[in-house]
Amino acid sequence: MHDETDHASRQPDPAEAPGQPARRQFMKNSALAGLAGAAGLTLSACGKQGATAGKGAASAAAGTAADAKELASDQVPPGQLDEYYGFWSGGQSGEVRLYGIPSMRELIRIPVFNPDFTIGWGITNESKRVLGPNFPPGGDCHHPHMSQTDGHYDGRYVFINDKAHTRVARIRCDVMRTDRIIDVPNVQAIHGLRVQRAPRTGYVFANGEFLAPAPNDGHALEDVDKYQTMFSAIDGDTMEVAWQVLVDGNLDNTEADYAGKYAISTCYNSEKGMDLSATMQAERDWVVVFNIPRIEAAVKAGQFKTVGDSKVPVVDGRHGSPLTLYIPIPKNPHGINASPDGKYVVANGKLSPTVSVMEWSRIDDCFAGKLKDPRDAVVAEPEIGLGPLHTAYDGRGNAYTTLFIDSQIAKWNIADAIAAYNGKKVNYLRQKIDVAYQPGHCHTSMGETRDADGKWLLSLNKFSKDRFLPVGPLHPDNDQLIDISGDTMRLVADGPVYSEPHDVVLLHRRLLIDKVKHVWDRDDPYFADAIAMAKRHGINVLADSKVIREGRKVYVYMTSAAPIYGINNFKVKKGDEVTVTVTNIDAVEDVTHGFCIANYGINMEISPGATSSVTFTADKAGVYWYYCTFFCHAMHMEMQGRMLVEA
């Protein structure tokens, strides 16, 4: 129904269809026309060496169209669009970064948990509504995941965790802006995060990693036995925590099945150790499977408690509960990844050279009591190499596992691994490729959906060492792009990145390109509060520029149209609370204005069609120029005005 060949249900891709902007079409046509001539030379010069070297001159000339196709697969010439969007976790920066793949070009950054002066994230009233008034200084993002419907990316939202402050955020993909951030109660440090794949997202699953007393209010500080953590299901539509499950041990990464029945999390600290060596005692920790229908039924039946001030229903999913299944897995397992055929899920052994392949249908049988030993859910445990952390899939039955210690990615075949587990003499390993260095996550194009297309693999390496110009003691990470479309993996590009993008998702542009807005809708909820406030003041923000005083509160409304603000100067008194609301009436693609007040710590971005507002206290008397910070017009430097603050 939803696969790539179903053209009827699939969005046309403007970058490959007619009707795109005239200049782009013109350039495309001229490039095609030029293939027979001089352009052919350029193509063979920068095409794949291996592919062209063996061909004679005649076939090279005749094969230019094919070469051009090949070229487009790993190089994106100037002016051409990438085939894939990549959502990169921004790690400790607290942001999300949007990339184009295969070019590895960073397209834009999306501030999430971090203050960002460029767009005024943390400064504007619109962003403070999302961040809360006393937002912490940043975040620690690991796992971005896009909402899905029936196992396909649906282009609505990207969700991401903040381990540093136990939060989960949602990014709207139509405007690439964060629209909700929530605190997750009763746990500490959200690490693993995934979305429910079916029927839709639905739930966003979030692992609380660290063990602590609950409520964590100063009681039982040394009473380690009472420390606990929980698994949380957040409603992706309302961004409220729907329920939580108390578990044994801690929780690391999490995953969901393709049927909407299960979520599954790794635990590396089944020992409940409080120091490193204690967490490495057991030869096997476990994964814990959450039975979603049973949990929902338990909540409905009132079989839950609440903790402290939180109203979230908490069900007991510790050993012996019918709501969960604990499957022993060697050793300190880390990543957990479901195969896109909907059949298997793989836990990555980290301290064990193995990965453990479990079959969802056998997990069914365990819950139904047909299989007595939870280990019976394991259908293969291939030895892959040292330090397996995460696994990705190509949709052709192969898996790709990062080996942190070996600095390699191993390609292996799932069916062969199962055969080997059943005693057959087969080699499930297909290839190992060196990466530079120490990979954490790897991710394939569309590989966490039913549409896994087996074209690209990203290795997100924690160390870059000698791969780039030296930049001081702190090195960039190295994200490497690997072509997996053929039988052998082929390293295509190195990409330095600022620490530390744990994880990415890659999705084909056809799933998103038509959903992305080029200018804001005037009735967008993102700035609805500012519009409502203006209405109360009798202001039409598209036309009126006006100053309104209510006691010590001053409201300044102005339009912005390149290169002029609707108000040239306004006067306030020292100590006034000032709210400036700027509306960009240039609803023209890419004509963004800024509004910065010099020496007042204020900057905000007003992209086309948007309204942005900021509230501050005029605590310094004097003349303060406000000016536009986005180069919008030949007279951009002159786009300015004065705030006069009376002593």
If contact means CB under 5 to 8 A according to the sort of partner, which of ligand RUQ, ligand CUA, Ca ion, none does residue 206 touch? none
C-beta separation of 327 from 378 below 8 A = yes
How far apart are CB 567 and ligand CUA at their closest, in Å? 14
End-to-end CA distance of the chain: 69
> Minimal distance in Å, beta carbon 500 to ligand RUQ?
9
Three-state DSSP string of 296-338 = HHHHHCCCCECCCCCCCCEEECCCCCCCEEEEEEECCCCCEEE
Ranges within 137-166 binding ligand RUQ (CB under 6 A): 142-143
562 binds, among Ca ion, ligand CUA, ligand RUQ, none (CB under 5 to 8 A by kind): ligand CUA
Which residue matches tokens 């999705």?
507
389 binds ligand RUQ (CB under 6 A): yes
Rounded distance between C-alpha atoms, residue 500 and residue 438, angstroms: 13
Within residues 441-480, the interface with ligand RUQ by CB under 6 A covers 441
Q: Which does 636 bind (CB under 5 to 8 A by kind): ligand RUQ, Ca ion, ligand CUA, none?
A: ligand CUA
Minimum gap (Å) between residue 560 Cβ and ligand CUA: 6
Min dist CB 337 to ligand RUQ, Å, is 11
* Min dist. Cβ of residue 628 to ligand CUA (A): 3
- Residue number closest to ligand RUQ, CB atom: 440
Report, in Å, the least distance between residue 462 CB and ligand RUQ: 7
How far apart CA 450 and CA 444 sit, in angstroms, is: 12
By CB under 6 A, name the one of 200, 350, 502, 510 that touches ligand RUQ.
502
Instruction: Quote the CA–CA distance of 260 and 316 in Å, as a whole number.
Output: 21
Does 208 bind ligand RUQ (CB under 6 A)? Our answer is no
Q: Compute the least distance from the CB of residue 404 to ligand RUQ, in Å.
A: 8
With CA atoms as reference, report the closest residue to 447 among 231, 197, 639, 636. Answer: 197
Smallest gap from Cβ 594 to ligand CUA, in A, equals 6
Told to check if 440 binds ligand RUQ by CB under 6 A, we report yes
If contact means CB under 5 to 8 A according to the sort of partner, which of Ca ion, ligand CUA, ligand RUQ, none does residue 334 touch?
ligand RUQ
The first and second tokens of residue 387, run together, are: 């330090």
C-beta of 334 vs 362, nearer to ligand RUQ: 334
The rounded distance, in Å, linking the Cα atoms of 85 and 107 is 9
Nearer to ligand CUA, 117 or 210 (CB): 117
Q: What angle do CA 638, 644, 647 make, to 5 degrees?
A: 155
The residue at minimum Cβ distance from ligand CUA is 628
Residue 503 engages ligand RUQ in binding (rule: CB under 6 A): yes
Q: Please classify residue 156 by burial: count the beta carbons closer than 10 Å to its beta carbon, then call 0-12 exposed, 13-18 middle and 19+ buried.
A: buried
Q: Give the list of residues 6+ apart from residue 39 with CB closer than 8 angstroms, or none.
A: 31
* Residues in contact with Ca ion by the rule CB under 5 A: 279, 285, 332
Q: What is the rounded distance in angstroms from the CA atom of residue 514 to the CA atom of residue 14?
A: 8
Q: Identify the residue whose tokens are 């338990």.
A: 298
Whether the CA torsion 290, 292, 297, 301 is positive or negative: it is: positive
Count of residues that bind ligand RUQ according to CB under 6 A: 12
Which residues form the interface with ligand RUQ (CB under 6 A)?
A: 142-143, 191, 253, 334-335, 389-390, 440-441, 502-503
